[in-house]
Amino acid sequence: MWAFIGRPEALHEWFPTTATRVEGDKRWVTLPSGIVFEEQIVLVDNDLRRFQYSIIGNPLITQHLGTIDVIPITDRSCIVVYSTNIDPEVLGLAIGAAAGDGLRTLQEKFGKA
């Protein structure tokens, strides 16, 4: 799971986005609505299995930090936790909905434990 999620360029393979481009520690994500988010990749920690990113350069979004944790349960199962801090806060609901969609995709792709 971490080998899949931990690749910043693979976001569109599981999250409801249409395209992903990565250059260094920057990522550009295209949403189905056509909106493009520019993101700073904050952390890719293969030991903690934690990925963190921040939406930047968006006049609407004054603060953002997204965190994805893959927490091992057994050798064959894990919990994926997606959390977001964002201002404006109401966008948290929309990102939460997208995250739910993405997590369901992961569940279908990797199967339940």
Partner 1 sequence: MPRRILFITTDQQRYDALGCNGGRVARTPAVDELAREGIRYTRAIPSNVVCMPSRSTMLTGQHVATHGVWMNGVALPVDAPSIAMDLWRNGYRTALIGKAHFEPFLDPFALFTENSLATLGEETVYRETVDGRLEPHRGFEHLELATHNGMGPLHYAKWLRENHPEAIGMLYPILNAQLQVNEAGGGDTGAPQVKHNPMPREWYHTDWVADRAVSWIDKQNTDDDWFCWVSFPDPHHAWDPPMSELHRVNWRDLDLPEGWVDDPVERERILASKPAHWLGWYHGTFVSNYEAPAKWIPSTLTADQVREVNAMVHIQNELVDEAVARIIATLRAKGWYDDVDVVFTTDHGEFQGDFGLLFKGPYHVDSLMRLPLIWRPAPSRTKVAPTTVDTPVGLVSLAATFAEIAGLRRPSYTEAERLPLSDSEANALGHQRVLTEWDSVLFGKIVSLRTITRGSWVCTATLPGTVHDGTDGELYNLADDPLQHVNLWHDPSHRAVRDDLLDDMWRNLPTASAPRRACDAPV
- DSSP letter (8 states) at residue 57: S
Taking the C-alpha atoms of residue 93 and residue 87, their distance in angstroms, rounded to an integer, is: 11
Q: How far is the CB of 61 from partner 1 (least distance, A)?
A: 10
Q: Are 51 and 44 in contact (CB under 8 A)?
A: yes
Question: Would you call the peptide bond into 88 cis, given omega within 30 degrees of 0 as the criterion?
Answer: yes
Q: Between 33 and 74, whose beta carbon lies closer to partner 1?
A: 33
Taking the C-alpha atoms of residue 52 and residue 83, their distance in angstroms, rounded to an integer, is: 10
Q: How far is the CB of 24 from partner 1 (least distance, A)?
A: 25
Q: What is the three-class DSSP state of 17?
A: coil
Q: Between 36 and 42, whose beta carbon lies closer to partner 1?
A: 36
For residue 57, what are its two tokens? Answer: 């350069």
Q: Between 72 and 100, whose beta carbon lies closer to partner 1?
A: 100
Q: Between 6 and 16, whose beta carbon lies closer to partner 1?
A: 16
Q: How far is the CB of 52 from partner 1 (least distance, A)?
A: 20
Binding stretches for partner 1 (CB under 8 A): 16-17, 31-33, 35, 59-60, 87-91, 93-94, 96-98, 100-101
